[in-house]
Chains A and B, each alone.
Chain A
Amino acid sequence: DTAVSQTPKYLVTQMGNDKSIKCEQNLGHDTMYWYKQDSKKFLKIMFSYNNKELIINETVPNRFSPKSPDKAHLNLHINSLELGDSAVYFCASSQDWGNEQFFGPGTRLTVL
Chain B
Amino acid sequence: RKEVEQDPGPFNVPEGATVAFNCTYSNSASQSFFWYRQDCRKEPKLLMSVYSSGNEDGRFTAQLNRASQYISLLIRDSKLSDSATYLCVVIDSGNTPLVFGKGTRLSVIA
Contacts and interface: CB of A to CB of B under 8 A. Distances in A.
A55 B45 CA distance: 23
A87 to B, nearest CB: 13
Nearest to B44: A103
A84 B101 CA distance: 21
Interface of A: 35, 40-45, 48, 50, 55-56, 58, 90, 97-106
B45 A43 contact: no
Contacts of A99: 32
Q: Give the interface centre of A90, A100, A105 by most chain B CB atoms within 10 Å.
A: A100
Given A41-B85, A98-B32, A106 B43 contact: yes
Interface of B: 31-32, 34, 42-46, 49, 85, 87, 91, 95, 97-100, 102-103
Contacts of A50: 95
A41 B6 CA distance: 13
B34 A100 contact: yes
Contacts of B42: 105-106
Nearest to A108: B41
A50 B98 CA distance: 14
Nearest to B100: A43
